[in-house]
Amino acid sequence: MKIIYGFLFLVLVISCTEKKKYYSMEDFANVDKIDVHTHVMTDRDGFVNQAMKDNFRMLNIVVDLSQGEEFIKKQYNYCKAQKKEHPGEFEIATSFSIEDWDKPDFTKNTIAWLDSCFAEGAIAVKVWKNIGMVFRDRNNQLIMVDNPKLDTIFDHLESENIPLIGHLGEPKNCWLPLDEMTTNNDRKYFAEHPQYHMYKHPELPSYEEQIAARDRMLEKHPDLVFIGAHVGSLEWSVDELAKRLDKFPNMGVDLAARMGQIFYQTIESREEVRKFFIKYQDRILYATDLQDGGDEDLNELQKEVHERWFQDWQFFVTDDIMNSDLVNQKFQGLKLPKEVVDKIFSQNAKKWLKMFPTNQNG
């Protein structure tokens, strides 16, 4: 009988230790979480209502989709409207158009626009892949992110301690034929957006040239707080990403739309990926790239949002064997300690982006 009681006591101790060190699926709705990469460009409340159910707050990001200044302002106004209605749920990252690149007052006007956004509460600035992949000046020269003309803008952000979020380049899969890509989401995206499928555009800069331009920009601006969107376009290798994080101490990365590549690497080497997340736990911000433009069926949207957040939570907090439509093989969750999960899902957003200061809302 003593042996049985001893065994039961040991099981109880182990169970309590597990609960103290690790989260479970049951903790999902009770833990404060932040998604630092969303695009809610609508007046409706369906997205934020789901977020509140799942205990998520969000960074709402404006993007320069090469559709001009008015399109930037339209997105920004949606962001302001959402934040006005839900001040405790949203923060805003603004952007700027480069359509006036060749005009003499481009830099002056851009800084004035950004300052007006900061005065209204925007906390970060986003630059997009049209820099480096799409936009050309009057001489038909492709503008890369290390172009000297952008330095004044980045110097201003540096001096004001405003983070720059950079979607620069694309996943390495972008330079491969569809059937050689490692994830299903990349195959789908580039099949639907051939204009961005660089395998079909060998005349444009290579993957390596895109990353090199971004790195040169960071070398010129060592004090700039930089968040590499989409795992800094180094989603294919935690080793390569680690090299950049070691080189650039003011660089963090978000996970938006690249969990498929994380899953893929986990299939190949789970322990290597797990060690990376633990070692660089202070540099990684949870993000999805989830969107609401007001057109999708609201029930379907809320279901998609919840399932994405819930599956990612499962990956980080359990060691379950999992499936995802992003990859074609099973993989095992990382089961990261609570303190690591807290940093990735909320604390790093507060540290790097200064989201939701304590006196505002937690």
- Note the pLDDT tens digit of each residue in 2-36: 666 555 555 445 555 777 899 999 999 999 999 99
What is the set of domains in the chain, with CATH numbers?
Answer: 32-354 (3.20.20.140)
pLDDT one-digit tens code per residue, 236-252: 999 999 999 999 999 99
Mean pLDDT within 166-193: 98
Could you tell me what percent of the chain has a pLDDT over 90?
92
Other C-beta atoms closer than 10 Å to the C-beta of 92 total 23
Mean pLDDT within 157-176: 98
Supply the DSSP string of 121-141, one letter for each residue.
T--EEEE-THHHHT-B-TT-P
Residue 164 has pLDDT above 60, yes or no: yes
Residue 74 has pLDDT above 50, yes or no: yes
Q: What is the pLDDT of residue 358?
A: 72
Residue 48 has pLDDT above 60, yes or no: yes
pLDDT one-digit tens code per residue, 309-346: 999 999 999 999 999 999 999 999 999 999 999 999 99
Beta strands in the chain (DSSP E): 33-40, 56-61, 90-95, 124-127, 164-166, 226-228, 251-254, 284-285, 290-292, 321-322, 331-332
Q: What is the pLDDT of residue 361?
A: 45
Residue 111 has pLDDT above 50, yes or no: yes
Q: What is the pLDDT of residue 18?
A: 73
Supply the DSSP string of 49-89, one letter for each residue.
HHHHHTTEEEEEE----SS-HHHHHHHHHHHHHHHHH-TTT
Mean pLDDT within 135-142: 97
> Residue 35, class by beta-carbon neighbours within 10 Å (0-12 exposed, 13-18 middle, 19+ buried)?
buried
Q: What is the pLDDT of residue 362?
A: 43
Residue 54 has pLDDT above 50, yes or no: yes
What is the rounded average pLDDT for all residues in the chain? 95
**By C-alpha distance, which of 37, 65, 78 is closest to 353?**
37
Q: What is the pLDDT of residue 3?
A: 62
Mean pLDDT within 187-215: 97
Q: How many CA atoms lie within 13 A of 291 on its CB side?
A: 12
Pairing of strands 321-322, 290-292: unpaired
Could you tell me what percent of the chain has a pLDDT over 70?
94
Please tell me the least confidently modeled range out of 5-19, 121-135, 162-176, 291-305.
Answer: 5-19
